[in-house]
Structure 1
């Protein structure tokens, strides 16, 4: 098998049928699969029909009400050659106030070289590229020595448990490496993520007449304000970054200096615990001393500190306050995690980015979190690479360049061929 010739033929097919690829991505956007509420019924039906027409073996799993996972395979599971997982999520964050959009967020319109709509960057363009690539390998009857598994999950945007962690726990997918088509820079796949520590802090007071405060009762809101001030000190903790992570941090700083230049000022977030005070609820009315107040806080953890250690730090910070409180974890939960840049699945992506684009490619670290952590929990090396206009993700007027969608689809195909034709 002439691998390079095969890749060239597949790349040419993508160029010749690029309108079909863009149309597929456009159709995906037209399904408003907002999460919450998380209903992926219609988009799942569409994808399943598309993949079935391409001759793929497909299994459908409902992990929660109206949340559907699809698993499609082509090739044969191999003990000698690598087996690869393509992964993408079909849910998107809510569009929000549609009057603030310049276009219908669910139009999937293509205009002036842009694909427009909610999910264009996160991540229906990337998902469309994975679907198109997997279907193409099946339609062309490419005899893959390893197995390619396409996993499409319904529950990523809320940090939920009904997508990737659900199918991994039930042993519904397996592979030696994984590519997630999450948004990234064109030349810089994401090979590491910070950890996540989301929690609700609730303080309790003693209700009473507001006219007697602060001499009467215990004010839950006042106590919570004091607690928040202490928790914000997590940023100031001096954390020792492990030596094996320093090359990744160096490359990530280079990326912020040379590519996303406007992000260079944020480089310190890679080495500190970030603390976002996201939501506060408390009190009954202005003339009642509040008996309860709750704040939701999102912390992201660098390498060098664990979730358990953060829990201990929070307890130490709050102890001197002598307040009545409780903490409840929710949402994203993980320690910082990464895949080495020289792992074969990472190399297959960066090498093919360079082949397709003719430019240098290297992996970087993400200051947020993703489904990648779940694969690493199962010792599956993983990275993220997908088309995106990064500044529009989760915002109004989300969009992505159509040429970037085409480039990424070629990279997916080239990486799949290289990886699946590689012996373990």
Structure 2
């Protein structure tokens, strides 16, 4: 008997209690990065896959024995090739008295799943595992394969996904679906690049008691440059006509999510954050060295020479001599075409399930998606989320969002793998 897309959709709804139980079990595993051991979560993932007839591998990758990855595959050698990516690790919960509930309880209350990792991203991971298990057990004929990449160091290093991409596990992928939190009103189809910019000031040491008269204070020099750093935000991205709709969507999502006046500019211009300042060694000595590290996020198409020119101009504008800049270009802006099969299928299924418009958009931050896009693989991020509690206290997610996400993933996988 041929298994249909409609039957698989109905099966998701019929087994939603199993999905929610899976979410709870994952949340109840205490695996904060870098505080806790990640092995219990890795073992749980492998055991779950095995219970549903899926063989997996535990591989020691670049993160070493403490941060292994899990790889699994189902389907056929010929056809469309899909990668599912997720991470099991979560950020620390902080002070327990900041929580209104047990962060590792996995409690369901008033239509919400409660606990650390509910949004980022144990419920999203549960959706991936659940979808893969149901497809495998259904006997559906997949015209292609699904490759699962699970990592446990995303919150601290991000080496796991990079390792998968560098070692051939994503080669030839026609679509990559990452279950990171987005909420249902958007699909992440692109993101900004990263520049780590360092300003270094050089001075002349002297005794602190005569610091107003002798010596050359490097900290004071740097302090005169820092107020001009935000001028880098004038450097724009460069987009072609095919990206105009996504840029517009992205500005809308940024304004809706962040809510600060003018924040839409964060999408198509550089952003800056002075994150670290260092200088001086003793309170009674004029410092001869000071530095600050700036996190610069680069919009798609941002030209390096434009950034360098802006930096040179702001140093000159400060009127200070003896300050220089160094650059570590970590990643470039990247995107997936919003008319790709992956995006159009996902968007349609989201809108059918939620009966609301979904806007494929670029992210103002960066993530592991960049590694897949660097290989030329169409890549999205989509997963259940309530953004307010992510990395903070009282993280939660709506139960309906979890269930709908599973429906959407199942239908989209059917679309791409020829299950009609």
Same fold (TM over 0.5): yes
Residues 61-210 of structure 1 mapped to structure 2, 5 A cutoff: 61-63=59-61, 64-65=63-64, 66-78=66-78, 81-158=79-156, 160-174=157-171, 175-210=173-208
Quote how far apart the aligned CAs of 1:400 are.
0.5
Q: Shift of residue 263 of structure 1?
A: 5.5
8 Å contact from structure 1 (residues 121, 390) kept in 2:
yes
C-alpha distance after superposition, 1:354-407 (max 9, x if no partner): 232233333112111111111110000011110000122222111101110010
1:383 aligns with 2:369: no
The equivalent residue for 1:44 is: 42
Q: Give the match for residue 215 of structure 2.
A: 217
Distance 2:73 2:286 in 1: 60
The 3 A distance-change label for structure 1 pair 239 and 347 is closer
1:314 corresponding residue in structure 2 = 311
Contact 1:245–1:303 (8 Å) recurs in 2 = no
TM-score w.r.t. structure 1 length? 0.89
Structure 1 residue 239 displacement after superposition: 5.3
Q: Which moved more, 1:24-33 or 1:381-390?
A: 24-33
What are the residue-to-residue correspondences of 1:355-394 with 2, within 5 Å? 355-394=352-391
> What are the ranges of 5 or more consecutive residues in structure 2 without an aligned counterpart?
none
Tell whether 2:271 aligns with 1:274. Answer: yes
Aligned to 2:60, the other structure's residue is in SS state strand
Q: Which moved more, 1:26-35 or 1:41-50?
A: 26-35
> What is the distance in 2 between the residues matched to 1:422 and 1:176?
16
TM-score (norm 2): 0.90
Is 1:234 the equivalent of 2:238?
A: no
Structure-2 change in CA distance of 1:35 and 1:224 (3 Å): farther
- List aligned pairs for 1:18-29, cutoff 5 A: 18-29=16-27
Q: How many residue pairs are counted as aligned between the two chains? A: 415
- Could you tell me whether the CA contact under 8 Å between 1:235 and 1:273 is conserved in 2? yes
Q: In the alignment, which residue of structure 2 is the partner of 1:350?
A: 347
Contact 1:167 1:173 in 2 (8 A): yes
RMSD, matched Cα:
2.6
Shift of 1:220: 2.5
Q: Which range moves more in the overlay, 224-233 or 401-410? A: 224-233
Structure 2: distance between partners of 1:290 and 1:261:
39
Q: Is the 1:187–1:362 Cα contact (8 Å) retained in structure 2? A: yes
Q: Gaps (5+ residues) in structure 1?
A: none
